[in-house]
Amino acid sequence: MADQPIIIKKIKKKGREHHGGAWKLAYADFVTAMMAFFLLMWLLSSTTPDQKKGISEYFQDPYKISLNGGEDVGDRTQVESQGGRDITSDDPGQVEDKTAEAAALQQLEQLKKTIEEMINTKPEMNEFKDQINLEITPEGLRILITDKDNRPMFQLASSATEEHIKEILRALGSTINGLPNKISINGHTDSRPFPENQSGYTNWELSGDRANAARQELIDGGLEEQKILRVSGLSSSIPLNTDDPNDPINRRISIIVMNKKTEMNIIDSLGGVPSTTVPTETTVPTETTEPAELNVELPTAPAANTAELQ
């Protein structure tokens, strides 16, 4: 057999053809979408309900958010996030109010120290220091003067003030007058019933008369009359010693140097309007401007059948 020719086929390789970069754009879009998805998952898991509400409002009304700013605009009660007036509150200047309250509290604490020093240094007051209690309360500074066995504040079944209590009340009047705060005076008795009498005089009238007598002694000591906001007699309705309603300690006079909040609460509860002017000297207010004046003339205590009263 004749030799067949050997055919050698050589394949010439060509270089890769350029396919373009469209796939890169698609991949970039995919990565961006995944990043946005995980960012959304992170926001949903780490934000508060108020922040979510703010984000929702951004997509609903971007123009509003661009004006107000902030993360929780939907639930905001202040125009400025750092402070300022609460637009849902009737009290303007919350930050300023807190500063004023702190300053007023400091004044009351200083008044408390001044009275304590006065009690310790004046012999006529130091003798009765165990009957005088000073305490800062949510209402202000409370000055409590109580009865004690053989040391009554008032004469038997009467609103006539004993001499040592006159000196104490007058000294307190001049000291309290150093602050602009309003005060309230409450009279209390024990639970011993007042003897029956034709005039109908009871412990209610007696406690009111004693509170009013304390008011007069404070004024005589230098307290400006217009600083007295309320004078009330509570009889035996709020005993200091609940275990023994007849305890002499339940017969007491409570003087409260009120803070501004308590003063406004009392005025609001009575439907009144606070005075905008502060007199520079002691004056006698008219009946229409003095809420604390007791205009009802109470009957005097009968002298008979009072031996059992303390």
In a domain, 153, yes or no: yes
Residues 36 and 128 in one domain: no
Residue 33 has what pLDDT? Answer: 94
280 within 8 A of 216, measured Cβ to Cβ? no
**Which amino acid appears at position 183 of this protein?**
I
Determine how many CB atoms are found less than 10 A away from the CB of residue 166: 17
Residues 40 and 155 in one domain: no
Residue 271 has what pLDDT? Answer: 81
211 within 8 A of 232, measured Cβ to Cβ? yes
The CATH number covering residue 109 comes to 3.30.1330.60
Distance of alpha carbon 277 from alpha carbon 177, whole angstroms:
17
Mean pLDDT score of the chain: 79
In a domain, 304, yes or no: no
Residues 245 and 110 in one domain: yes
Residues 245 and 184 in one domain: yes
Residues 51 and 184 in one domain: no
Q: Name the one residue in this structure whose structure tokens are 């409450």.
A: 186
DSSP letter at 298? P
What angle (nearest 5°) sits at the alpha carbon of residue 239, between those of residues 237 and 242? 120
Q: Which domain holds residue 47?
A: 24-76
In a domain, 165, yes or no: yes
> Which stretches of the chain score pLDDT less than 70?
1-3, 12-20, 62-96, 273-310
Dmax (CA) for the chain in angstroms is: 167
Residues 44 and 154 in one domain: no
**What tens digit of pLDDT does each residue of 131-158 get?**
999 999 999 999 999 998 778 899 888 8
What b/e sequence results for 278-304 when a residue is b if at least 16 CB atoms lie within 10 Å of its CB, and e otherwise? eeeeeeebeeeebbbbeeeebeebeee
**What tens digit of pLDDT does each residue of 16-44 get?**
666 667 888 889 999 999 999 998 888 78
Residues 59 and 135 in one domain: no
In a domain, 172, yes or no: yes
DSSP letter at 225? G
Residues 115 and 28 in one domain: no
In a domain, 264, yes or no: yes
Residues 265 and 182 in one domain: yes
- HEC string for 2-69: CCCCCCCCCCCCCCCCCCCCHHHHHHHHHHHHHHHHHHHHHHHHHCCHHHHHHHHHHHHCHHHHHHHC
Residue 156 has what pLDDT? Answer: 84
Number of domains the chain is built from: 2
Residues 162 and 220 in one domain: yes
Residue 60 has what pLDDT? Answer: 78
In a domain, 208, yes or no: yes
Residues 71 and 105 in one domain: no
In a domain, 41, yes or no: yes
